[in-house]
Amino acid sequence: MPITSQLFGHTRRGAPVTAYRMHHPNGACAVVLDYGGTVQSLCVPDRSGRLVDVVLGYDTVEEYEAGDGYVGATIGRFANRIGGGAFFLNGQAFQLAQNDGENHLHGGQYGFDKQLWQGQVRGDTLVLSRTSPHGEEGYPGTLELQVSFTWTQDCGLRIAYEAETDQDTPLNLTNHSYFNLAGTGTVSGHTLQISAERCTETRPDGLPTGRLLEVEGTPFDFRQEKPIGESFAYDHNFVLCGRSAARLYCPETGIVLTVETDQPGMQVYTSNMLSQQMGKGGVPFGVRSAVCLETQLFPDGMHHYGFPNPFLRAGQTLHTATCYRFSQTP
């Protein structure tokens, strides 16, 4: 079905923001904004055929500009944290914004989530493009980036990333959608399965120690599907075993979300620090209102030997993709 577009609003500087509406033949519909490369709405059928909006979001541009939870946004240049907001590359020291205590988080004060992208419809695919100039948020090199959104035949929203740089630069891209397969309430009763036998040990400030811990016998053991619950606040990177990363299920609606990716890690975040606020249609959300399944490289990878390479080299092209596939149980 054709992708349609309409004006969503204007930024505080007066720039227009476009909403692109992407329909699937089974009735599912995704709305993607060119502000922040943001998935604003994602409606999928439940077991009775009723459409449920399964991601958190806002009704206005003003709320996205003011928000600090990266709700639904494309994250970059570097998703997750960089210790001290600093790194060495090719013998040179770089200092980034320290917007998470002493650390750098999700690309800085004005990361990709706060930028306007250029939208183009190519058949059944929406392509958002932008140039991140040399020095943006302190990062080296001019980065050319495209993020493509496509519905697959089996109701998967596939998000594909492509990037090139003229200088070596850190790069770690993800989407920060907050999923609630009931559309409201908390996700404590959702069940989750993660294809991971290890996770990165995490310090109190969210940085990894460099150690990989076995999940067996810990609250991080989601190898068998179990309720997310309320006894533990998750904001941790899981070391994925293969392309089938995770399965999220809501018993109330029967909606199943499966995550497939070529990335080595996935940050699971149960919105522990999400402030109580009003979302789309006047529906409130806050702590434990959703879970993020952020496929990615490992956090702070430039400071830990053995972590996946966090740098894109000049002349190389990054290709990576994640698919969020929806189905229903009887």
Give catalytic residues, as residue numbers: 176, 294
Q: How far apart are CA 118 and CA 120, in angstroms?
A: 7
Sign (positive or negative) of CA dihedral 237, 240, 244, 247: negative
User: Both tokens of residue 195?
Assistant: 């294809």
User: Both tokens of residue 321?
Assistant: 């993709």
User: Both tokens of residue 48?
Assistant: 């009775």
Distances (CA, A) of 100 to 81, 84, 233, 249: 8, 9, 18, 31
Q: How far apart are CA 28 and CA 5, in angstroms?
A: 16
3-class SS string, 116-149: ECEEEEECCEEEEEEEECCCHHHCCCCEEEEEEE
DSSP 153: T
Contact 131, 143 (CB under 8 A): yes
Which DSSP string do the residues of 1-61 spell out, in sequence order? ---EEEEEEE-TT--EEEEEEEE-TTS-EEEEETBTTEEEEEEEE-TTS-EEE-B---SSH
Q: How far apart are CA 30 and CA 157, in angstroms?
A: 8
